[in-house]
Amino acid sequence: MSYKSKFHILEKIRLASSLSVEEYVKLYDPTLIHELGAIANEIAISKHGEIAYYVLNRHINPTNLCVNRCKFCAFSRSKGQAGAFELTIEEIIDKLTSSQIPFTELHIVGGLHPDWKFEHYLNIIKVVRLHFPNIAIKAYSAVEIDYMSKIAGMDIDHVIKSLKDAGLDMLPGGGAEIFESKVRDKLCPEKISGERWLYIMQRAHINGILSNATMLYGHIENYIDRVNHMLKIRELQDKTGGFQAFIPLSYQPINTEIGGKWTSGIDDLLNIAISRIILDNVPHIKAYWIMLGEKISQTALLFGADDLDGTIIEEKISHSAGASSSQSMTEDDLQWLIKKAGKKPVQRDGFYRIVE
Ligand code: V47
Ligand code: SF4
């Protein structure tokens, strides 16, 4: 890109003007990383001051049995395959009650189990809520919600309302992958379409359930696919305002059917900065340290991210695919990473309320 055209595009971003898809795509240029990082950091500061959030949270996966077998997923198994697991509700509660960390947010996602009924998915939420009345329960991706509506023969609104009555607070942002159907058909042909994912999120927001949004990048997509993906999230956010955070998920290639390479640090940071710029209507950009690694996610706090996520405790999805980060971080570690990025660590709960 010529100096003139770089200058012109950066000037437009500084004036908070929207760019065309082609112009956003041009931002994926390593020579722009300093300027984009500085602009994205300014946007984050204008929204959150010098704060960077972390949360005491826990992940749990009730099962890795899945009737979809996405080609980037090293976590899922078919029935009878080595490594397949399904936790009983008692086992889930045992794991949760034996956690050392007093978590305020619980993240529950898993596979599309071939035999479980909707009532089982519902009971998991009911029993967890009974044992943990005060935590935020963030459970079931849009893909799981769609599956529940199929196995229960219920419409999406009915599924969401039943889960909400059982104690669900919000939906995680998984399953979005890349909306572009040409890519999606190659990555995960059995998965719901991008349009369906957006529809389910819209219904969740309308029914009072907030959610996150993700984008899986660094596999076979191109920059146009990434930009279009984020623009679709921005468009829905303009209508509902229901997305709390955007989380770019860097592809982990080990043990997957499509294989491929790890993302580069430069791509990770550019992507964080560009997402902060495009998604100016989404409050938070999460640098998910589990996938980005501790050092890149810390650096991302100066590139537009304002949330490191949390203690996690147990992570299976990206570690099945070779993630080399640890599975858990202490509160001290999270605070240290944030402070060393020159930001003020603030503990949040699932709704981004400050925990005193
Ligand atoms: O939907 C699967 C992704 C997602 C791989 O909402 C992979 O707060 C990288 O959505 N490499 C689940 N990614 C994780 C997720 C999430 C994580 C943390 C926080 C939140 C939130 C949501 O993981 C899946 C899929 O997109 N995934 N395989 C892989 N090999
Ligand atoms: Fe199943 Fe989700 Fe893995 Fe796809 S990404 S195979 S839907 S667990």
Q: How far is the CA of 142 from the centre of ligand 2 (A)?
A: 12
- d(C-alpha 168, C-alpha 124), whole Å: 10
Nearest CA to ligand 2 atom 2: 111
Per-residue confidence (pLDDT) for residue 308, from 0 to 100: 97
What is the residue-averaged pLDDT of the chain?
96
Per-residue confidence (pLDDT) for residue 8, from 0 to 100: 84
Nearest CA to ligand 1 atom 9: 251
Query: Are 311 and 334 in contact, with CB atoms under 8 Å apart?
Result: yes
* pLDDT over 90 at 7, yes or no: no
Please report which confidence band the pLDDT of residue 14 belongs to, taking 50, 70 and 90 as the band edges: confident
Per-residue confidence (pLDDT) for residue 313, from 0 to 100: 93
Task: State mean pLDDT over 229-242.
Answer: 98
- d(C-alpha 104, C-alpha 335), whole Å: 17
Give the ligand whose atoms come closest to the C-alpha of residue 177.
Answer: 1
Q: How far is the CA of 23 from the centre of ligand 2 (A)?
A: 33
- Residue 34 corresponds to which tokens in the numbers above? 């300093």
- d(C-alpha 83, C-alpha 85), whole Å: 6
For 326-341, write each residue's pLDDT tens digit.
888 999 999 999 999 9
Q: CB-based burial of residue 257 (10 Å sphere; 0-12 exposed, 13-18 middle, 19+ buried)?
A: exposed
Per-residue confidence (pLDDT) for residue 2, from 0 to 100: 79
Closest ligand 2 atom to residue 73 Cα is 3
Task: State mean pLDDT over 273-278.
Answer: 98
- The partner residues of 136 in beta bridges, in order of sequence, read 105
Per-residue confidence (pLDDT) for residue 271, from 0 to 100: 98
Place of tokens 């790890």: 262
pTM here? 0.97
304 vs 14 pLDDT, higher one: 304
Give the ligand whose atoms come closest to the C-alpha of residue 216.
Answer: 1
Q: Which helix (H) or strand (E) holds 148?
A: helix 142-152
For 39-70, write each residue's pLDDT tens digit.
999 999 999 999 999 999 999 999 999 999 99
70 lines ligand 2 (CB under 6 A): yes
Q: How far is the CA of 303 from the centre of ligand 1 (A)?
A: 21
- d(C-alpha 27, C-alpha 40), whole Å: 12
Nearest CA to ligand 1 atom 10: 174
Per-residue confidence (pLDDT) for residue 45, from 0 to 100: 98
* pLDDT over 80 at 309, yes or no: yes
Please report which confidence band the pLDDT of residue 301 belongs to, taking 50, 70 and 90 as the band edges: very high
Closest ligand 2 atom to residue 64 Cα is 8
Per-residue confidence (pLDDT) for residue 5, from 0 to 100: 81
76 lines ligand 2 (CB under 6 A): yes
Full set of structural domains in the chain with CATH: 3-348 (3.20.20.70)
Task: State mean pLDDT over 236-265.
Answer: 98
* pLDDT over 90 at 24, yes or no: yes
* pLDDT over 90 at 1, yes or no: no
* pLDDT over 90 at 13, yes or no: no
For 76-129, write each residue's pLDDT tens digit.
999 999 999 999 999 999 999 999 899 999 999 999 999 999 999 999 999 999
- d(C-alpha 286, C-alpha 303), whole Å: 11
Per-residue confidence (pLDDT) for residue 56, from 0 to 100: 98
Task: State mean pLDDT over 148-156.
Answer: 98
Residue of 146, 249, 257, 263 to mutate, ligand 1, most atoms within 8 A of C-beta: 249
Ligand 1 pocket by Cβ (under 6 Å) = 72-74, 109, 141, 172-175, 177, 212, 214, 216, 247, 249, 251-252, 256, 288, 291, 317-318, 321
